[in-house]
Structure 1
Amino acid sequence: MQIDAVITWVDGGDANWRAKRQHHSGEPQHDLLPFSNGEGRYRDNDDLVFLLRSMEKFWGIDGSIFIVTDQQVPSFIAEHPRLRIVDHSQILDACYLPTFSSRAIESALHHIPDLSEHFVSFNDDQMLTRHVQPKDFFSAVGSMVFLTRERIPTIDSDLQLSGHNDANNARNWMQKTYGASSIEFIPEHAPKGIRKSWMMELEAAHPDIFDEVRQEKFRRRTGQSILANLYLDWCATHGRADIDWEQCRYLLTDDVENGRVASLLDSLGRHLCICINDTTDDRSDVATMRDKLDRIRTELFPRPSYFESVPSFDAVSA
């Protein structure tokens, strides 16, 4: 089975991109989630370097690797026959662009030209930590859905985090539209196995929810996180998914910065992946956080990958 990998990436420090973001930040915004437009949501912590290093080591699956960007190319990237850069304009109509919402971008990944029927969607802050096979992402009935043990909250005060809000929105929509929802727990911030034709089917049946989310410039409380939440529930409710639990070790950059992570080496071979998620704030001490983050990740993946034209980090000594 050929399975493509799709990675969403942005360089939030790029001057041209920042000018676009600043321009649209000045427009009236309605019903935004906290930190929808915070620096951390777009900060380039060189996560992509380490995701690709982890994929070189653990992604033993045939297929292309697509990096989805907004008129950008990673500075370190090398030409490679399996690697392709995809611009937002190739998957989203001009009326939706530019967008700074990952929900909007992810809603259109299935429109990538020449994309395989089966693909795995990655955020760039994820790193594989063991060898993976197709069965890790696709079961006999369809997709694998990875869940946490945390129930989806319903109280407004518990819905300030985008992951909680989006999971609640998806569950409510499924119950209203189909009379049932099969996911009661928060999905993991982990790679997701997606069937292209099923996303096409969902979009054909409910074009309004795709149009709504693609219109947002920044993440809103309303609308759907289609690929990361709604698609999973839709598959599970229609008997097209199997459930697995706690496959990803999830951390925040605060965990690294405050020294609460002594080592991540024990995750190698035990978890499917690690995610070190930026806490989407406007911190002033970025350099301190990055120094600790780089040392930890370089300990995990010291060797430059063949996706790097110039090594981005020195290898740590054995």
Structure 2
Amino acid sequence: MSFRGWRGQLGRKLPDAFWEKILTCSTSGQSSLDLDIEQIRSINVDATRALADSLGIKYLDDRLRGVSTVSKSGWQKLATALQEAGYKLTKVSSDAASYGALSVWTVHSQTPERGKSFRRHSGVGSVWAVYSDGKSIMPDIQDFTEPVDAVYTWVDSADPVWQEAYREFKQSIPAGASHPSSRDLARYTSRDELKYSLRSLEMNMPWIRNIYLVTAGQAPTWLNTENSKIKLVSHSEIFDSPEECLPTFNSHAIETQLSNIGGLSEHFIYVNDDIFFGRPMSPNVFYTGSGAVKYSLAKAHYAEATNPRLAVNLAAQLNADLIQDKYGKTTALKFRHVAHPQRKSIHEIIRRSFIEEVNATAKHKFRHVDDISLPSSLAHYVAAAEGIGVPVDIDYSYVDLGSEHLAMKLYRLVRGRSMQMFCFNEVSSVSGTEKRGQLAKRVLDTLFPYKSSFEK
């Protein structure tokens, strides 16, 4: 459902109470199934492959992407049998598998609960990629085939120890020594976004190798630390000078140290916990076949920003100055607030080339006017300069939980087309925060109702 043009004008004229009511009717609670995403997917994979085996249909297991690959004629035979047996087939975007695939389908043998959408939850199905008859079923030359990790940064702002440290250092630092936005606790408010982000990742990107959760020595109470795929990393393990820099309340500072994570792969995706993945995607969404990062540019020129003192605009200007000094070229566009593909080697180039700026940012306990923003901006510029970064378009939606017409925007997420990624951000505290948070949680429960294997 589109809200552009006359539809958007009409939608914005309708009262918020109308959209809140229709959103409530269009969303449902959490799943009552006692199965997690990995278990549901395993049931679907085993069942559909067993049917293929019984029909003598040859297929291959593409473990890298978590898909089954089959020839066109084999799929036609299998699809007919699946439908006759009552399975649900959903065609998904080709970016869920390989450039060589003719089409990609998800198959559900495990029927979703009443009210749950097959299309919305296609990521828990068995994914089948269809190839031309007689064509070798192997990675395309444009497919990215190396290991990819994910890195999250997270803080438990409800932790009394964290709150005490926050108040102590907030009082000890003059207001002019940090950016004003860093002192708004809305920046640190948690509504279990991390839980839903991990659900969306496991549902739609099962090929992620390891997930590194970088925290201030904290862990969510619901986290299944027995899952070997989750690696808890404390700030003290990665900061070059922990005695000078910690504790820190500055995400920019933490981001300068990510390449110090032990065991981190060369290619990794940096994810804020307010980012969610809306449909099945392969590594090709994030990297070229040769491993170049695919970053997503915003349309806005930071030099034309109405508020140049915003932290993101100040960091963009500083990043531009560094790029000009090193490469003799300038920058203009900012980047979307999405999951950011990274190269560890690019982080290391930045840490060597701009050592003063990196060290200064690492020591700023709160966001500072002189901070660099490494993974979400500077790393993309350097990747482009080094010939291993390219801009791409993605299907993406940004929702500010403090904005007008929030319920209408959330309804669009539930009823519109599935995005590759979307973001729930809260720029600052506003009235009705609790109610807005409840609406957002209903949407997340609807889109990601099944718990992940990362939850207890």
Q: Do the aligned partners of residues 89 and 267 (structure 1) sit closer, same or farther apart at CA in structure 2, a change above 3 Å counting?
A: farther
2:329 is the counterpart of 1:184? no
Partner SS, residue 424 of structure 2: strand
2:456 is the counterpart of 1:306? no
Find the counterpart in structure 2 of residue 216 from structure 1: 364
Find the counterpart in structure 1 of residue 133 from structure 2: none
Deviation at 1:34, TM superposition (A): 3.1
Contact map agreement 1:110 1:196 (CA 8 A) in 2: yes
Runs of 4+ with >3 A deviation: 255-258, 266-269, 283-286
Counterpart AA for 2:413 = L
Contact map agreement 1:2 1:116 (CA 8 A) in 2: yes
Q: Which runs of 5+ in 1 are unaligned?
A: 310-318
Paired positions, count: 305
Find the counterpart in structure 2 of residue 314 from structure 1: none
Q: 1:107 aligns with which of 247, 256, 259?
A: 256
TM-score between both structures, scaled by the size of structure 2: 0.64
Q: Do the aligned partners of residues 197 and 301 (structure 1) sit closer, same or farther apart at CA in structure 2, a change above 3 Å counting?
A: same
2:234 is the counterpart of 1:84? no
TM-score between both structures, scaled by the size of structure 1: 0.90
Find the counterpart in structure 1 of residue 77 from structure 2: none
Q: 2:375 aligns with which of 213, 219, 227?
A: 227
Deviation at 1:205, TM superposition (A): 2.4
Find the counterpart in structure 1 of residue 166 from structure 2: 21
2:213 is the counterpart of 1:67? yes
2:46 is the counterpart of 1:46? no
- Structure having the higher Rg: 2
Greater helix share, 1 or 2?
2
Q: Structure 1, residues 208-250: CA drift from partner, whole Å, max 9, x if none?
A: 1110110101111213112211111111122220101354311
Query: What is the distance in 2 between the residues matched to 1:257 and 1:73?
Result: 34
Q: Do the aligned partners of residues 209 and 144 (structure 1) sit closer, same or farther apart at CA in structure 2, a change above 3 Å counting?
A: same
2:435 is the counterpart of 1:288? yes
Partner SS, residue 392 of structure 2: strand
Q: Structure 1, residues 104-163: CA drift from partner, whole Å, max 9, x if none?
A: 0111111111111111000000001122222211223621111111122256x5223322
Counterpart AA for 1:58 = N
Query: What is the distance in 2 between the residues matched to 1:238 and 1:102?
Result: 25
Q: Do the aligned partners of residues 2 and 256 (structure 1) sit closer, same or farther apart at CA in structure 2, a change above 3 Å counting?
A: farther
Contact map agreement 1:141 1:239 (CA 8 A) in 2: no
Q: Percent identity?
A: 26
Query: What is the distance in 2 between the residues matched to 1:256 and 1:66?
Result: 35
Partner SS, residue 249 of structure 2: coil
Query: What is the distance in 1 between the residues matched to 2:196 and 2:416?
Result: 15
Q: 1:11 aligns with which of 143, 156, 164?
A: 156
Query: What is the distance in 2 between the residues matched to 1:255 and 1:103?
Result: 25
Q: Do the aligned partners of residues 192 and 258 (structure 1) sit closer, same or farther apart at CA in structure 2, a change above 3 Å counting?
A: closer
Partner SS, residue 99 of structure 1: coil
Query: What is the distance in 2 between the residues matched to 1:44 and 1:144?
Result: 29
Counterpart AA for 2:285 = D
Query: What is the distance in 2 between the residues matched to 1:141 and 1:128?
Result: 21
2:298 is the counterpart of 1:148? yes
Contact map agreement 2:402 2:433 (CA 8 A) in 1: no
Q: Which runs of 5+ in 2 are unaligned?
A: 1-145
RMSD: 1.9
Contact map agreement 1:67 1:85 (CA 8 A) in 2: yes
Q: Do the aligned partners of residues 16 and 267 (structure 1) sit closer, same or farther apart at CA in structure 2, a change above 3 Å counting?
A: farther
Find the counterpart in structure 2 of residue 265 from structure 1: 414
Contact map agreement 1:256 1:293 (CA 8 A) in 2: no
Query: What is the distance in 2 between the residues matched to 1:204 and 1:173?
Result: 13
Partner SS, residue 220 of structure 1: coil
Partner SS, residue 121 of structure 1: strand
Deviation at 1:256, TM superposition (A): 7.9
Query: What is the distance in 2 between the residues matched to 1:121 and 1:171?
Result: 21
